[in-house]
Amino acid sequence: MADETLAGTWYEMVAAALKRHKVDLVTYVPDNVLRPLIDLVHADPYFTAFAVAREEEGLGINAGAWMGGRRGILLMQTSGFATLANSLASLPVPYQIPTLMLVSERGTLGEFNIGQQMVARTMRPVLDTLLIESPTITRIDELEFILDRAMTQAWATQSPCCFILSPLLTGGKVFAA
């Protein structure tokens, strides 16, 4: 839609990009960094947004929705992505379903939880091994270009795509001493 604001914060730009690509189903497991995006999609009647009990569920819901003609995205944090390897390897990848994922990256650039630091190291090897496109977004001036191009590519190639939002973009979660 032409009148959508393209300026503003990263989360406004993500929501606008989802609208441009007719992605109106948002499943998520909550995350503090993603909170403004989650709040935004809940407040906007264009989106159907709800929390699921596990990330795998959201992946299954979005895969089913895609096959039924509706586009969805799953929002989660790095540790949540770590629960997905089997589902990715046996559902969207072999069935060629372009399900979208968006991860707020933890474990780096000031992480305070060693568990997050360790599990974060499993994310890119899993994505690379499964040949899943996974652009890391660090700059707001590149955000729109990456989202638009990668979503277009996902639909065209019938391949899943995972956006990794760096703390350089979002500010991340900072240590409260």
Partner 1 sequence: MALPANQPASRDQAKVMNRFDITKRMVALLRHEEAVIGGIGYTNFDLWAVGHRAQNFYMLGSMGLAVPIGLGVALAQPGRKVIALEGDGSILMQLGSLATVAARAPKNFCVVIMDNGAYQITGGQKALTAEGADVVAIARACGLRQSVWAADEGAFEELIALSLKEDGPWLIGCRIDSEKPKDTTERDPPIIKDRFMRGLGVK
Count other C-beta atoms under 10 Å from residue 90's C-beta. 10
Among 9, 90, 152, 157, the residue binding partner 1 under the rule CB under 8 A is 90
Site membership for partner 1, residue 52 (CB under 8 A): yes
Among 85, 89, 146, 168, the residue binding partner 1 under the rule CB under 8 A is 89
Structure tokens given for 87: 């589902």
Among 53, 156, 176, 177, the residue binding partner 1 under the rule CB under 8 A is 53
Site membership for partner 1, residue 45 (CB under 8 A): no
Residues whose CB is less than 8 angstroms from the CB of residue 65 and which lie 6 or more positions away in sequence, other chains included: 25, 71, 72
**Element holding 75 (H helix, E strand):** strand 71-77
To the nearest whole angstrom, how small is the minimum distance from the Cβ of residue 123 to partner 1? 19
CA distances from 24 to 129, 156, 173 (A): 29, 19, 27
Contacts with partner 1 by CB under 8 A lie at 25, 48, 50, 52-54, 56-70, 72, 86-87, 89-91, 94-97
